[in-house]
Amino acid sequence: MRIEKRMGDSEEEEEIGRQQKQTLIDGVAERLLSGDLDSKIQAAIDIRNILRNSSVKIRSKFTAAAAVIQPLVSLLLSPNQHAAEVSLLALLTLAARNERNKVRIVTSGAVPPLVELLKFQNGRLRELAIAAILTLSAAAPNKLTIAASGAAPLLVQILSSGSVQGKVDAVTALHYLSSCTEATTPVIDARAVSPLIKLLKDCKKYSKFAEKTTALLEILSKSEEGQTAISNSDGGILTLVETIEDGSLVSTEHAVGALLSLCQSCRNKYRELILKEGAIPGLLRLTVEGTPEAQERARMLLDLLRDSPPEKRLASSVLERIAYDIAARVDGSDKAAETAKRLLQDMVHRSMELSLGHIQRRAASCTPSQIPPT
């Protein structure tokens, strides 16, 4: 009986707690809808405090019952910067871990005022606006609206002038927006190349940030303007080569894709530039250790980088077939695949040693006047 009584008391306490929270929510919503500016500011602060540690269910119930998103969006337009800041924080809290709220915020008209806030010199407001664009861009239904809003060029500017966190958020937002297939024009253009190269140069090549940055560079490498910008950027091709050597499986795939796009567009123009940066060892290793897509891209690029004319080149697929046939004769068909892979790995490592030796001999033969300035 005592256990049943305790359970009954607990359920009653939970119900009282829910009723109290609902009363608080209704009061906050009323102030936000019809109060003066100070009341609305405090209501926005209260919304964030109420929801900060609440479940997704409570967040959905809050917005459905109180319809607070629209008045919060209206508060973004206030000339009072404190009002804009607290409304942004409340909207970010509502959007966190809630896809439906993200869509509601955009359909309520939040994107135009957020784009205006991206232009602000006020660092705090601009940082929050970047975070909001990033958060809202994660929802697929929002991508086209944000891509068409003019936010992307402002995000590209932030790649050069923003804080460290602002740059990280801007890259992630551009990465989300770049996957918008409905956009009639590219989300970013060649003006993004130089800051992206600099960010990639300065970051850890195996990081998630590098993966997003190289993905954007691969997209930009598809256009003639983007190709020119990559080759003209300080250390552009070298940075992609270093990413192939030190990056994660994802970033190496994007980096080799970017270099392949360059070489496919104009082999005569880009072949020597890529070779000069010592791309061969990393590409050889990638043919064995990369993702299937990266391996194929590395083989294609290696074929393009060879001196011999196309009709005399030994395609990588032919080389693999030869290795497999040799392995089958030596170890039988059961172990042929494993033996062929080992043979190819040995060939790759030997080729890498030869390539490095060739580079060292060339460097040793250079006179000081022939060595390019760093």
Specify whether the CB–CB gap between 44 and 32 falls below 8 A: yes
DSSP state of 235: T
Specify whether the CB–CB gap between 156 and 195 falls below 8 A: yes
- Which amino acid belongs to residue 341? K
Q: What is the pLDDT of residues 234-261, one digit of tens each?
A: 999 999 999 999 999 999 999 999 999 9
DSSP state of 373: P
Query: How many Cβ atoms are within 10 Å of 125's Cβ, its own excluded?
Result: 20
Q: What is the pLDDT of residues 147-190, one digit of tens each?
A: 999 999 999 999 998 889 999 999 999 999 998 888 778 889 99
Q: How far apart are CA 124 and CA 285, in angstroms?
A: 45
Phi-psi region of 169 (alpha: psi -120 to 50; beta: other; left: phi over 0): alpha
Q: How far apart are CA 299 and CA 344, in angstroms?
A: 13
DSSP state of 121: S
Q: How far apart are CA 148 and CA 176, in angstroms?
A: 14
And the tokens for 159? 């790649």
Which residue, 85, 96, 185, is CA-closest to 136?
96
Specify whether the CB–CB gap between 90 and 28 falls below 8 A: no
- Spell out, as residue ranges, where the chain has pLDDT lower than 50: 65, 311-314, 358-359, 361-363, 366-374
Q: How far apart are CA 135 and CA 91, in angstroms?
A: 10
- What integer pLDDT is reported at residue 208 of this predicted model? 96
- What integer pLDDT is reported at residue 324 of this predicted model? 57
What ranges make up the beta strands (E) of the chain?
Answer: none
And the tokens for 45? 């602060």
- What integer pLDDT is reported at residue 369 of this predicted model? 39
* pTM for this prediction: 0.77
